[in-house]
Amino acid sequence: MNAPLFNQVGKIVASFDAEKARADFEILSRTVYGKPLVYLDSGASAQKPRVVLDTMRDFAQSEYANVHRGVHFLSAAATDRYEAARRTVQKFLNAAREDEIIFTKGGTEAINLVSYSYLAPTIQPGDEIVLSVMEHHSNIVPWHFLRERAGAVLKWVDVRDDGSLDIEALDAAITAKTKLVAVTHMSNVLGTVTPLKEIIARAHAKGVPVLADGCQSAVHDIVDVQALDVDFYAVTGHKLYGPTGIGALYAKRAHLKAMRPFNGGGEMIREVMKDRITYADAPARFEAGTPPIIETVGLATALDYLSSFDRAAVAAHEHDLLAYAREQVRQFNWLRVIGDAPGKGAILSFEADGMHAHDLATILDREGVAVRAGHHCAQVLMERFNVTSTSRASFALYNTRADVDALVAGLSKARGILS
């Protein structure tokens, strides 16, 4: 049995109990179309536990004020909560310093910040950015901006037929012209977990920094940015059982000191005169304007909530769900699972013969089962597997085998309707 941990209120939490955790999410008790809700779209956005919603409401009702700018009681209290949230993210990612954590609107803005502030000032025509074909559009489009505007070259690393990354091909793609490797830590479509530590070591051996999209991986596994030695790591709150509109970028302090501001406005300056301006140090330099204060407090609570569980036990539970689902769908010879890389995360993507993904998802929806359908903001990967869209079931800590059974029953019904 896993050793017990203490949660944010000091209560001992034993080994993970999915049914008990499920009770923390009030939305899961509702029905849709007269059927119990089976939510299998957490890869897009996770549901929020009661403690996150309550904390955000309580903070707004009793402590809210703008941060960093006031000397009155509420402003000081709100500032304390805001900066405490930064320390919570620092601890969650095991960053060495709290000023290496930049609050953003989400993972997308975090990656765009690196593109604009770190790479754009020095990129030259012909300079290379190495990507994998399984990147989310958030980790593709910002680099296309540099291709369009500065003449950068995007170099693509393929995946094998099982969805695993070809690391030897990635290593070979890094040349003297490579300025950055930008790679997902866990694919939002395939669930593939990339060998990030090895990728970083190989890139660093050639003097190349690495950005990791951690929006999926940080939910399902413990992330240690110091042990990884990663240069940049992006996460988003709404997948981590927190609110939308808040995320974070981890960046090594040496990089942050050299990076230009992303947005201009209040808070990110040191001095503004008619003929000159000086900028604040990180993190303020990259947090212009009034931040999403309530959402930041909610993110900290969500991370505390997730950390209150034995993360290894949660991961084992999610992997059990994936293995169970994978075994159950073997009965359907008309269904093709896309991505079976060893050690993959709890995501099941599939296409069905003669059924468009949206039609299949619509029938599942009428059975109360919420899955994702489409290209999942990963059109390059869709092209690699010669599909236009897939259906995707993504599992979270609050899912159970009964949810998998509902999915399988829905698939069987859809086959009868659409075949």
Q: What value, to the nearest 5°, has the Cα angle with vertex 313 and ends 323 and 308?
A: 140
What angle separates helix 293-307 from helix 50-62, to the nearest 10 degrees?
Answer: 150
Long-range contacts of 194-197 (CB under 8 A, 24+ apart): 194/132, 194/165, 195/165, 195/167, 196/228, 196/230, 197/227, 197/228, 197/229
State the burial class of residue 229 (Cβ atoms within 10 Å of its Cβ: 0-12, 13-18, 19+).
Answer: middle
Task: Give residue for tokens 């290379």.
Answer: 128
Query: Which residues, other chains included, contact 238 with Cβ-Cβ below 8 Å and sequence gap of 6+?
Result: 45, 46, 106, 244, 245, 246
Cα dihedral 245→41→163→352 (10° resolution): -140
User: Of 28, 53, 150, 377, which one is the catalytic site residue?
Assistant: 377
Question: Any catalytic annotation for residue 215?
Answer: no
Query: Which residues, other chains included, contact 160 with Cβ-Cβ below 8 Å and sequence gap of 6+?
Result: 166, 341
**Among residues 390, 383, 385, which one has the least CA distance to residue 140?**
383
Which residues are identified as catalytic?
Answer: 377
